[in-house]
Amino acid sequence: MQKRMALVVQKFGGTSVGSIERIQHVARWALESQARGDQVVLVVSAMSGETNRLVGLAQQINPVPYSREYDMLIASGEQVACGLVSLAINTLAGSRAGSGGSSTEKARPLLGHQIGILTDSVFSKARIQKIDTRLLESLIARGIIPVIAGFQGVDAEQNITTLGRGGSDTSAVAIAAALKADDCEIYTDVDGVYTTDPRLCPGARKVDRISYEEMMELASLGAKVLQIRSVELAAKYKVPLHVRSSFSPVEGTRVVSMEEMARHMKESSMEKVVVVGVAADPAQVKFRLQGLGDRPDAAARVFNALAKAAIVVDVIVQDTAQSSGEQGQLNLSFTVGESDRLLVRDVLQRLGEVGTVVEDPGLAKVSVVGVGMQHHPGVASRMFGLLAEAGIRIRLISTSEIKISCLIDGDKMKAAVQALHQGFGLED
Amino acid sequence: MQKRMALVVQKFGGTSVGSIERIQHVARWALESQARGDQVVLVVSAMSGETNRLVGLAQQINPVPYSREYDMLIASGEQVACGLVSLAINTLAGSRAGSGGSSTEKARPLLGHQIGILTDSVFSKARIQKIDTRLLESLIARGIIPVIAGFQGVDAEQNITTLGRGGSDTSAVAIAAALKADDCEIYTDVDGVYTTDPRLCPGARKVDRISYEEMMELASLGAKVLQIRSVELAAKYKVPLHVRSSFSPVEGTRVVSMEEMARHMKESSMEKVVVVGVAADPAQVKFRLQGLGDRPDAAARVFNALAKAAIVVDVIVQDTAQSSGEQGQLNLSFTVGESDRLLVRDVLQRLGEVGTVVEDPGLAKVSVVGVGMQHHPGVASRMFGLLAEAGIRIRLISTSEIKISCLIDGDKMKAAVQALHQGFGLED
């Protein structure tokens, strides 16, 4: 019985292409997938460590690099990996064919601009607008494996743009959506999605199946298995994701729609599991703007400026001072990742009239995630109770339909994750 | 009195951008040139060591890498340098303007495909066909310094191509020609062109002025100050070159037309200097094809195949065996650089019917160069005499209008250069 030919996009992260040996492993894997009858498209990240090296070079020149230069610079990391992986496939295929060489093309290295991955012009956090699939489809039809540099695109003026950290996931999903691929496999250095970060909590368990919505909230897990935007995109275009280890043939975690989840749940216990995982984000900074002024657009003005700089603001808390002399004055708090700290400071400084800026670094965010959660009001109080029992002070709270997050001191993150993971019965 | 505004292309080699400090030095230099009233265009090589690192990665996968991948891979080195230099200029200009940042654009990083450096498709040794100057001209008119990644272009199918080792020189000259620049400054780690390699011969002297023709022959000097092709191109388009040190403000060596040379010679002694320099090329390999067959096209067939692989063959000697049984059999010898050795072996193997191939590695080529040479028949005999006196055996001889080359054992190269340099009176 012959299997129907499937089109599979395989994305390999930095660790998966982190050495020549691993690159050769990826090449073998891709050729074997093809030999089993699948049509294969590869998307690769930069070799692990390379992006940090390049960012380090730029930061020696300017701690807040100009974005056009920054994107051109760091896009080179994926370019190198892309060239090497394609080289490895052609070399392996050539030696298998016994020709010793360059006669037949089995793979083609491709950069963002070569396959028209068109993005907007928000350097370092660009969003994909369109992908031209013509070249890809013609290569696939000829049995040539496209090896695509992830993370990068090109704007309408031919500037190189990048999609933000973890952007290769988004490249892979966008390409899978554009090609209407049957599967998008995300190969990484962990073997799937866990109930929490195993490095923080030894009882962490791998889950077989998770919904896009839950995955979005868990994407910020310590292991950073998937960029959030890639999951949003996968949900939007219903691209089936399969997160798995590049060093093991075992099934990983499938990220699917809620309908798909429900189909599988019936077989087990649909109502039982509420909390599916505990997420932890270290290195959060709280900015507090004290006495922001009483203009009705004061908050909008700040968040507009931050949005223009493409800064993702996480938790936001607003209150009006009542004690002291500054009656009617607005106080605004929000958190961002440590990596955006200098950029936020820069934006606020240029903006002016933002009151006194107080930075509170060294924080962490712990979150519990689960789709059924909103129907179980007990979850929030149980979470606060578990943290209190562990002697952990909560600095800010934020809730959504499927997530409750607490901002705590960074050095308490591990203890908090363990208390929550055990307290919500995720160890079984 | 105001100086006329000049358009100057400044090319910085790998050592000149080899560290963050040097990149910042280049940025200062470019801004100061602009402040003195010149219009400036930069062309940069990869940071020193980077191209070797990338080639090393590829060779771990395949000693004779597929060229499309190879070019994509090594082009990333110039991309990084280009991003960093542009970043350094914008950062420096921004801090001088006191804005602290990103408000005004003083430099723009540009890759080969972004300014339409169109080449043929001979990967790793591509030749430039056309440069689209529109974007460059519009940037220059707005006072923005274009910072161009050297060494790279793009073919008609949007594949990234590279121009061969030292190709950034060619990029710079081609851009200077396309823009009709007043000057093309080649910044390197030496302060000009020497009568021979100072590392081989302590008596080596810097020359103030040299003709394109002599420079072409001397470009292969140990110091490798200029890629030969770039000099050819400069001669063709009469681009005035100025080879100088990026670490010193003193004048270097100007490479000019013979008319220009003659104008200056009148002032000194036009007839006196015949030999202007002694060139040395280490790491040469001699291939000898014994019993190549007696087909009239035997030699053409071999050199066609080598040319198709874009291998530069240097000295060629052909003779017909007379002793032994193989009467009428053609014997063909030619030399190539050590770096092309595997490629040549590969080409010969595929070609087949090339007789017995004998490789003779570890050779060096020493040459004396001078425009007036052909009218002084004494030069050749003097050269052979000087080598004989030094006890150095000559393995092959090749002559041209302005050069006489001898192939010798590699370990005798230094002694040969010193004997020739002194013997031809180049020390004064």
| Burial of B5 per CB tally in 10 Å (0-12, 13-18, 19+) | exposed
Asked if residues A294 and A375 have their Cβ atoms less than 8 Å apart, the reply is no
How sure is the predictor about B270, in pLDDT bands with cuts at 50, 70 and 90? very low
- Whole-angstrom Cα distance, residue B173 to residue A407? 58
Name the residue among B70, B73, B80 with its Cβ closest to that of A73. B80
Question: What is the rounded (10 degree) CA torsion for A163, A167, A171, A172?
Answer: -170
pLDDT at A224: 64
Name the residue among B60, B91, B108 with its Cβ closest to that of A62. B91
Shortest distance, CA A78 to any CA of chain B (angstroms): 9
- Whole-angstrom Cα distance, residue B398 to residue B334? 11
How many residue pairs bridge chain A and chain B with CB atoms within 8 Å of each other?
A: 128
Region label for A371, one of left (φ > 0), alpha (ψ between -120 and 50) or beta (otherwise): alpha
Residues facing residue B107 across a β-bridge: B145
Q: Is the pLDDT of residue B272 over 60?
A: no
How sure is the predictor about B310, in pLDDT bands with cuts at 50, 70 and 90? confident
> B22 in contact with A at a CB cutoff of 8 Å?
no
pLDDT mean over B176-190: 94
- Whole-angstrom Cα distance, residue A294 to residue B4? 57
Shortest distance, CA B72 to any CA of chain A (angstroms): 6
- Whole-angstrom Cα distance, residue B336 to residue B315? 8
Kindly give, in sequence order, each residue whose CB lies less than 8 Å from that of residue A302, ignoring residues fewer than 6 positions away: A289, A292, A332, A348, A351, A354
Q: Alpha helix (H) ranges present in B97-206?
A: 134-141, 167-178
Among B180, B202, B204, B176, residue whose Cα is nearest residue B192:
B204
Residue A322: Cβ within 10 Å count: 9
- Whole-angstrom Cα distance, residue A423 to residue B42? 62
What mean pLDDT, rounded, does chain B reach?
Answer: 87
- Whole-angstrom Cα distance, residue A279 to residue A290? 30
B271-281 as b/e, with b when 16 or more CB fall inside 10 Å? Answer: eebbbbbbbbb
pLDDT at A169: 94
The residue type at A424: F
Q: How much of chain B, in percent, has pLDDT values that exceed 70?
A: 89
> B88 in contact with A at a CB cutoff of 8 Å?
yes
Q: Alpha helix (H) ranges present in A97-157?
A: 134-141
pLDDT at A327: 54
pLDDT at A100: 40
How sure is the predictor about B377, in pLDDT bands with cuts at 50, 70 and 90? low
| A chain contacts of residue B67, beta-carbon cutoff 8 Å | 102
pLDDT tens sequence across B117-167? 999 999 988 999 999 999 999 999 999 999 999 999 999 999 999 998 789
pLDDT, mean of each 10-residue run, chain A (428 residues)? 78 95 96 95 96 94 87 97 97 69 80 96 92 96 97 95 91 97 92 87 90 81 69 92 89 89 62 76 90 77 85 75 56 88 93 90 91 72 88 83 87 95 88
Instruction: Give φ, ψ of A47 to 5 degrees.
Output: -55, 140
Q: Is the pLDDT of residue B3 over 80?
A: no
Shortest distance, CA B352 to any CA of chain A (angstroms): 14
pLDDT tens sequence across B26-81? 999 999 999 999 999 999 999 999 999 999 999 999 988 778 999 999 999 999 99
A79-to-A109, B121, B268 alpha-carbon distances in Å: 9, 19, 54
The residue type at B347: V
pLDDT at B265: 65
Name the residue among A61, A90, A111 with its Cβ closest to that of B66. A90
Return the structure tokens found at A3: 């299997």
- Whole-angstrom Cα distance, residue A165 to residue A241? 19
pLDDT tens sequence across B197-218? 888 889 999 988 888 988 888 8
Residue A38 three-state SS: coil
| A chain contacts of residue B159, beta-carbon cutoff 8 Å | 114
Highest mean pLDDT among A31-45, B269-283, B330-344: A31-45
B15-to-B45, B81, B339 alpha-carbon distances in Å: 9, 11, 21
> A101 in contact with B at a CB cutoff of 8 Å?
yes
- Whole-angstrom Cα distance, residue A289 to residue A330? 8
> A124 in contact with B at a CB cutoff of 8 Å?
no
More confident residue, B98 or B121: B121
> A114 in contact with B at a CB cutoff of 8 Å?
yes
Shortest distance, CA A58 to any CA of chain B (angstroms): 6
Q: Which residue ranges form the domains of chain A, and what is each CATH number?
A: 7-189 (3.40.1160.10), 277-423 (3.30.2130.10)
- Return the residue of A nearest to B83 by Cα: A69
Return the structure tokens found at A218: 């868990």
SS3 content of chain B, % helix, strand, coil (to 5): 40, 25, 35
> A76 in contact with B at a CB cutoff of 8 Å?
yes
Question: What is the rounded (10 degree) CA torsion for A370, A371, A376, A377?
Answer: 70
Q: What is the reported pTM?
A: 0.77
Asked if residues A146 and A86 have their Cβ atoms less than 8 Å apart, the reply is no
Pairing assessment for the beta strands A396-400 and A160-162 based on DSSP bridges: unpaired
> B82 in contact with A at a CB cutoff of 8 Å?
yes
Best interface-test mutation with B: which of A54, A76, A106 has the largest number of B CBs within 10 A?
A76
| Burial of A220 per CB tally in 10 Å (0-12, 13-18, 19+) | buried
What secondary structure letter does DSSP report for A246?
Answer: T
- Whole-angstrom Cα distance, residue A370 to residue A401? 9
Residue B396 three-state SS: strand
